Structure 1
Amino acid sequence: MRPDGIRTESGFPEVSNCSYPPTPRKTSLNGQSSANGNSHANGSKQPSNPSTYYGHNREEVTRILIQSLHELGYTSSAAQLSSESGFELETSGVATFRSAVLGGRWVEAERILIQSFQNAGSQPDQKPPPEETLVLAADAEKNEMLFYLRQQKFLELLEERDLAAALGVLRQELTPLQFDVDRLHALSSLLMCPTELLHDQAGWDGPVSASRERLLGKLSKSISPSVMIPQHRLAILLDHVKSTQINNCLYHNTAESPSLYSDHMCDRNDFPLEVGVDLTDHSDEVWYCEFSHDGSKLVTAGKDQKVLIYDTADFSVIHKLMDHEKGVAFASWSPDDTKLITCSQDNKARVWNVENGRCLLTINHHRQPVTAGAWAADGESFVIASLDSESQLRHWSIRGQSLYTWKSGYRVQDCAVSADGRRLVAADTEAKIHVYNLLTYEEDYCLPLPSKPTSVAISQDSRHILINLAEGEIQLVDMETTAVIRRFKGQKQGEFVIRSTFGGAAENFIVSGSEDSKVYIWHKENGSLVETLDGHIAGCVNSISWNPANPGMFASAGDDNTVRIWSRNCNRPRPGPAPRSRVPSNGVTQTSALRTTTFPS
């Protein structure tokens, strides 16, 4: 059992449910050797050939292989390798400790742990027998490790509904440690939790055996790897190898994992760099485009007040939604793609039935342009953003009921809801990002920015925010820490709304429009500019959308009245020049000879 649901940073890592049977032991173990891996810290006999393995420590390689064979289920092979090499997976002290934890023998596990800390500060002639000790990491904390052990015991007693014993552990064993008081309070609240809710509240997601494996994985971080190799070490190393290959491959556009048999490199010719289709059904600037989640449809919207829905099989127009009275700057598909929100400069938002093209709901509440909409994860409600500073952000039900209005006083240019449904991100026109808990409506934090944000997007794993700044920079921000992970530069921006987004099969790319009529594509992990494409004939490229179901296709919407569909190895003639125009970034709308623009009020 693990209390991940108690919102703590010290939750157990996800590991598979596997333990290691003892391997044949050929020599006595002292368990106290150097932790640098160069002096046979596992106490096994010196092999006849002490040379390295292609520059790698021979003992480390062999012991990792023994561990991996156990995890793969090849127990006999692991024992044979240990016997033949003379290297053992772990000391007898580690084996005893492992067995105690996995078997729920908490008194024995604590005894070994306490003796190990005592031994760490004792003189050599005072060391207890090696089978009763562990080699601890330099930063190991006794109270922290004891807390995790006793917490496991407490949670298992709750699972058994032995509340008296659980209360005794809480008061007499956990509380005296004075470790992580907030977590202790959360654990105490579980005593009153009904049985049917205990699993969710405590983060219980599997049998006791799996929970104890996660506990062991957590404790192993405080034990020297010289005697207890971190779990799944070979798999972790192979993940690093694959990640490095992907990061070094500029055109990696597949969700499939690279093979370990050979070095990996994707072919540029398989990347969507050519215009396959030009959509010319708009009569003015196209301000927005977005593929449906299943990739079967594409919605476009623009200054001509039109909202068009295309079938991506042949890019025929399925519906023309014509009810808005001014330009439409945004559209958003519901999670199941059955409904669509459109947001317009006529100060209205509309919800449409995608199957028949009928308007289901009109939000006629705002006194300024509606700039964006975002669906809740269940598709039963949505958030509307507006430049109306009196009602800039409001949560609505699908039946048109106002569920919540956030505190007024600023204007919102764009908003997005994370895929997990937990957070709402709103881009303030005053150079700030507001991040709210969509479940409680409370603001988690407000992030100041160097210039006005024109768009925000959230990665599918709900970990990162992509912020397009008016000063011509795109920032990738960690949603939890607010740290700027990467900056992308090169595109032109300053006056108008330009949107950027995640793209590619595994969101390996950052793609953005630009005021110089081009499309810019960067590698998300290494920040390299992959391609600069001559996107449209004139004016800005306002919006980009990558097909979620087809990594070889993305769309761009521009001021030349066209939407272009980019794909692999396609060559089609491009249309001639079209009139220029543009989408306002924020403020009160004014019209010029070139395009509609906006100035702060």
Structure 2
Amino acid sequence: MVKLIHTLADHSDDVSCCAFSSSLLATCSLDKTIRLYSLSDFIELPHSPLKFHTYAVHCCCFSPSGHILASCSTDGTTVLWSAHSGQPLMVMEQPGGSPVRVCCYSPDPTYLASGAADGSVVLWNAQSYKLYRCGTVKDGSLVACAFSPEGNLLVTGSSSGDLTVWDDRMRFLHTEKAHDLGITCCAFSPQPLSGGEQGLQFYRLASCGQDYEIKLWVVSFTRVLGLELKYKSTLRGHCAPVLTCAFSHDGQMLVSGSVDKSVIVYDMGTHSVLHTLTQHTRYVTTCAFAPNTLLLATGSMDKTVNIWQFDLETPCQGSMNDQLKQLIEDWSEEDVSTWLRDQGLEDLIGIFQMNNIDGKELLHLTKESLAGDLKIESLGLRSKVLRSIEELRTREDSLSSGIPDEFICPITRELMKDPVIASG
């Protein structure tokens, strides 16, 4: 369950962005201001609103510590503020003075990225306030950016529909046409997918756009093997352009907001819709989950920010006993990931997802395919996977035949005739 616990209505124009720290909520607006609220009672802080920008404020974000707040504006600047005093610490001007549409902090608080309407993306040293690196996308405005959980990758999204991946020194790695009509937002899950023995790092990425869709991707990266951005699936819950998306702190939920005025919360285990929230009266422009708590903020062109509280129980896929009630060959890739986790094989989740291993593929894996196609080098690990798969095949035979497992011989897997139960 989720319930609306508070509505903030202090902005005088469209709300463009909202962001949480561990103790504060920041909101910004086309009214040129940023406002700060305490999470304990949602009372606005005495030094709020923050006023410096001369045009609309498009984005705001907290540093990892929560002590610094960054904001960016049509006026071509990115401003750093003290979250506790509201005093501006530094004004950083985008090269060329182009309107700055988006900004985000790296998990390493040293760096802050800002993207602008002219396609430029700047990586700032947020401690020395110096420009560290910069790059430019070929087409369109920069409207979205997100750092990977370890901070070694930066993904930017453009109005032309391209996702572009950079390393932590702003070296171009990859570009992908993601949304035909333009990207509006992108977000990494805070929890990386487990990697494999080769030291691969796997991340889940969501992107949304003007095409009404949310796309899910898996990103893998090593310095030796390079980067792979692989499309996984599409969520189509909205009936209008999707303007914003964000993951919960544990990666189990994804929230999105749309021109259709709705907010949809998805379960990332099943990709099903958990909640559809329709309290906003105009386009939903921004959404954000609080860190480590089940609070959600949504902002809209109706000039309000809604605060939502979730139940303590987070969504989960359920136990494997529940999943085994369906045929294993009908499992999704997410079902396979849950099974791996239950088997103590979570280190293989990223590899299985990158290779699109669903239930049908899982049942057909062999020692050759594990070593050759999936490149699992450890003989012991391959043997453990094969033993677990064999148990699944046995269970699948029982399920598909409709015969209870206790009537099947545990050795031959044939139907027992005149079985005898020995007394203990």
TM-score normalized by the length of structure 1: 0.46
**Is 1:490 aligned with 2:219?**
no
Aligned equivalents of 1:516, 1:408: Cα separation in 2: 29
**Is 1:501 aligned with 2:237?**
no
Which residue of structure 1 lines up, in the alignment, with residue 289 of structure 2? 546
**Is 1:421 aligned with 2:151?**
yes
The one-letter amino acid paired with 1:558 is S
The one-letter amino acid paired with 1:519 is V
Which residue of structure 2 lines up, in the alignment, with residue 196 of structure 1? none
Q: Which has the higher strand share?
A: 2
Which residue of structure 2 lines up, in the alignment, with residue 393 of structure 1? 121
**Contact kept? 1:287, 1:303, Cα under 8 Å:** yes
Aligned equivalents of 1:562, 1:471: Cα separation in 2: 25
SS in 1 for 2:160: coil
RMSD: 1.7
**Contact kept? 2:179, 2:210, Cα under 8 Å:** no
Among 329, 341, 350, which residue is 2:70 paired with?
Answer: 341
Aligned equivalents of 1:549, 1:376: Cα separation in 2: 18
**Is 1:469 aligned with 2:212?**
no
Which residue of structure 2 lines up, in the alignment, with residue 279 of structure 1? 8
Among 498, 514, 518, which residue is 2:258 paired with?
Answer: 514
Report Cα offsets for 1:46-101 as digits up to 9, x if no partner.
Answer: xxxxxxxxxxxxxxxxxxxxxxxxxxxxxxxxxxxxxxxxxxxxxxxxxxxxxxxx
**Contact kept? 2:72, 2:79, Cα under 8 Å:** yes
Q: Please show how residues 569-588 of structure 1 align to structure 2 within 5 Å.
A: none
Which residue of structure 1 lines up, in the alignment, with residue 307 of structure 2? 565
Which residue of structure 2 lines up, in the alignment, with residue 223 of structure 1? none
Give the 4+ runs in structure 1 shifted more than 4 A: none
Aligned equivalents of 2:18, 2:218: Cα separation in 1: 26
Among 254, 258, 269, which residue is 1:525 paired with?
Answer: 269
Aligned-pair CA distance for 1:286: 0.8
**Contact kept? 1:276, 1:565, Cα under 8 Å:** yes
Aligned-pair CA distance for 1:486: 2.3
Report Cα offsets for 1:184-215 as digits up to 9, x if no partner.
Answer: xxxxxxxxxxxxxxxxxxxxxxxxxxxxxxxx
SS in 1 for 2:59: strand
Aligned equivalents of 1:522, 1:378: Cα separation in 2: 29
Which residue of structure 1 lines up, in the alignment, with residue 54 of structure 2? 325
The one-letter amino acid paired with 1:517 is K
Number of aligned pairs? 288
Among 174, 182, 204, which residue is 1:445 paired with?
Answer: 174
The one-letter amino acid paired with 1:345 is T
**Is 1:315 aligned with 2:57?**
no
**Contact kept? 2:122, 2:134, Cα under 8 Å:** yes
Structure 2 runs not aligned, ≥5 long: 193-202, 221-227, 312-424
The one-letter amino acid paired with 1:375 is Y
The one-letter amino acid paired with 2:166 is Y
Aligned equivalents of 1:345, 1:501: Cα separation in 2: 23
Aligned-pair CA distance for 1:375: 1.7
Q: 1:376 to 1:506 in 2, by over 3 A?
A: closer
Q: Please show how residues 369-388 of structure 1 align to structure 2 within 5 Å.
A: 369-388=99-118
**Contact kept? 1:427, 1:454, Cα under 8 Å:** yes
Q: Please show how residues 109-188 of structure 1 align to structure 2 within 5 Å.
A: none
The one-letter amino acid paired with 1:357 is G
Larger Rg: 1
Aligned-pair CA distance for 1:493: 3.1
SS in 1 for 2:258: coil
Among 179, 185, 190, which residue is 1:460 paired with?
Answer: 190
Aligned-pair CA distance for 1:407: 4.2
Aligned-pair CA distance for 1:447: 1.2
Identity over aligned residues, as a percent?
23
Aligned equivalents of 2:245, 2:137: Cα separation in 1: 27
Report Cα offsets for 1:141-182 as digits up to 9, x if no partner.
Answer: xxxxxxxxxxxxxxxxxxxxxxxxxxxxxxxxxxxxxxxxxx
The one-letter amino acid paired with 1:471 is D
Aligned-pair CA distance for 1:300: 0.4
Aligned equivalents of 1:533, 1:378: Cα separation in 2: 34
Q: 1:450 to 1:286 in 2, by over 3 A?
A: closer
Among 15, 29, 33, which residue is 1:306 paired with?
Answer: 33
Aligned-pair CA distance for 1:332: 1.0
Q: 1:433 to 1:568 in 2, by over 3 A?
A: closer
Aligned equivalents of 2:68, 2:83: Cα separation in 1: 5
Aligned-pair CA distance for 1:568: 4.9
**Contact kept? 1:535, 1:556, Cα under 8 Å:** no
SS in 2 for 1:499: strand
Q: Please show how residues 138-287 of structure 1 align to structure 2 within 5 Å.
A: 271-272=1-2, 274-287=3-16
Structure 1 runs not aligned, ≥5 long: 1-270, 570-601
Which residue of structure 1 lines up, in the alignment, with residue 420 of structure 2? none
The one-letter amino acid paired with 1:397 is N
Which residue of structure 2 lines up, in the alignment, with residue 360 of structure 1? 89
Aligned equivalents of 2:276, 2:134: Cα separation in 1: 41
**Contact kept? 1:302, 1:329, Cα under 8 Å:** yes
Aligned-pair CA distance for 1:311: 0.3
**Contact kept? 1:486, 1:527, Cα under 8 Å:** no
Q: 1:482 to 1:381 in 2, by over 3 A?
A: closer
SS in 2 for 1:542: strand
Q: Which has the higher helix share?
A: 1
Q: 1:323 to 1:492 in 2, by over 3 A?
A: farther
Aligned equivalents of 1:290, 1:374: Cα separation in 2: 11
**Contact kept? 1:541, 1:559, Cα under 8 Å:** yes
